[in-house]
Each structure stands twice: as C-alpha cells, then as structure tokens.
Amino acid sequence: MIQLKDIQKVYRTDSIETLALSSISLDIAKGEFLSVMGPSGCGKSTLLNIMGLLDEPTGGKITIDEQTTEHLSDRQLAQFRNKKLGFIFQSYHLINDLKVLDNVELPLLYRNASAKERRQLAAAALEKVGLSNRVKHFPTQLSGGQKQRVAIARAIVGQPEIILADEPTGNLDSAMGNEIMDILLHLNKTESATIVMVTHDEHMAKKTHRLVRLFDGSQVQ
C-alpha cells in the first residue's frame, strides 16, 4: 500500500544541515497496522509527514497505492490526500469555532459533496466513534478523549484507505488512551484501514501488527 524507498530528509539553514531521515525504506501492506517508535527527535513525525505527503523528502521515492507522488502538483497532492489519507494529530487540531459535526465534515468540503451527503457521512463517522450525542457541541466543550474521537471521525469520514496517526494518545490519560487505541484497532479490523501510528507508548505499539524503530533518522528495527 505504501512503499518508501531510500527516503532522506535534510533540513538546511544558512549555516547548518540537519539529517532528519537517512535512507529509510519501508513497505506497508494494505490493512497493516504499523507502529513507529523512537526517542524524541529521531524523525518519527518527519517520516509520518512524508508518508502523508505533508512534506517532501530530500531524496528517495514514495509510492502510495501504486502511485508515485514526486511529480504531483500542489493541487494534485491536496486531492490525493483528500481521497486516500486521513490524519490524526496528537493535539487534535480541531477548529474550535466550528461545531463537532462541522469539524468532522471538513474533508468532505473539498470533495464537492452536497451538504446533505456531508451531514450524513459525518453523522455516520461520529456514530462509529460513539459521539452521536455531541454533534452540536464545540470542541471546547469536550474532554480530551472526546476531542480525539472527533478527530478520528474526521480522519475516517472520507473513507480513506490510509490513516496516519501522530501520537494519538499522547495527550490522554491511560484510560482514554486505551479507548482511542480500541477504536483504531476496531477500524483496522473491520474496515481494513491501513494505519501508521507514531507512538511513545510501548504498550500501545505491542497491540499493532508491526513495530518499526527509528534512531537518529535511521531505521534500527
């Protein structure tokens, strides 16, 4: 589903060059639930951003669902992300000025779906994460776990084939973290979603199919 070949990422300033990723090669199968672990600053989030086409590698090649991405324009990349990818962030990144339902609808705004379709799909996504009773709330009225569930609903509303989660339980206590993890496992099992999760939590990582470790930008496991 996702193929990374010799991915390299170098950050350059006027005086310093930082090698964030060094020759990472990875194949992720369809329906696989992969964890990425490593100490802070090892390049986990950078890897996830590159997989999610949010950042460009300095070298190497990415193939997602048999399509290479290096020649895609900004608009094409946006359309690709919209169709194929869903994102879950550690800080949720919900829009506080919009109600829960409007937040979940967000990816569908860029698909030319009708308002009715958007509402229906958003409501269905919220039901999957158990938040149907919160559609008219604002994010500021929700707990951390509820916010992350809204973020998951947003990530899956467009039925993407790949979900990229950057420390989805990082800001939650263990109980809420387990709830979130259960939702992700359920999605992976029932909908065959390919999930790549960056985590610091060994316990969460063990529940996934495979674990990849990074250290100083290189893959060590």
Partner 1 sequence: MLKNYFKIAIAVLKRRKFFTFISLFGISFTLTILMVLTAFIDKVVNDNYPDRKRDRSLYINSMELRGPNAMNGGALSFYFLDHYARSLKIPVKVGISSGPNSTNTYINNKKIAINYKYTNADYWEITDYDFVEGKAFSRQQIANGDHVAIITEDTRNQYFGDETSVVGKYIEADNVQYRVNGVVKNVPITLYMLYSDIYLPYTASKSDQNANKGYSGGYTGILLADSKSDLPRMRKEYEEMVSRLPIPGKEWNRIYSHADSFITGYVRTGNEESSGMVYAITAISLFALLVMLLPTLNLVNINITRIMERSSEIGVRKAFGASSRALVYQFLVENLILTILGGLIGILLSWIVLQILNSAHLIPNLTLSLNPTVLFIALLICLVFGLLSGVYPAWRMSRLHVVNALKA
Residue 103 CB, shortest distance to partner 1, in Å, is: 9
Q: Which of 3, 58, 82, 171 binds partner 1 (CB under 8 A)?
A: 82
- Kindly state the DSSP code that residue 218 receives in the 8-state scheme: E
CA distance 24 to 120: 40
161 near partner 1 (CB under 8 A):
no
Residue 148, interface with partner 1 (CB under 8 A)? no
HEC-encoded secondary structure of 100-154: HHHHHHHHHHCCCCCHHHHHHHHHHHHHHCCCHHHCCCCHHHCCHHHHHHHHHHH
Binding of residue 220 to partner 1 (CB under 8 A):
no
Q: Is position 137 an interface residue for partner 1 (rule: CB under 8 A)? A: no
Q: Which of 18, 27, 29, 110 binds partner 1 (CB under 8 A)?
A: 110
Min separation Cβ 174 and partner 1, Å: 26
Q: Which residues contact 168 (CB under 8 A, 6 or more apart)?
A: 88, 89, 90, 148, 151, 152, 180, 181, 184, 197, 199
Q: List the x/- string, 33-72, binding to partner 1 by CB under 8 A.
A: ----------------x--x-xx-----------------
From 2, 87, 163, 165, residue interacting with partner 1 (rule: CB under 8 A): 87
Task: Output 33 or 89, the one with its CB closest to partner 1.
Answer: 89
Alpha carbons 26 and 36: distance in angstroms, whole number: 11
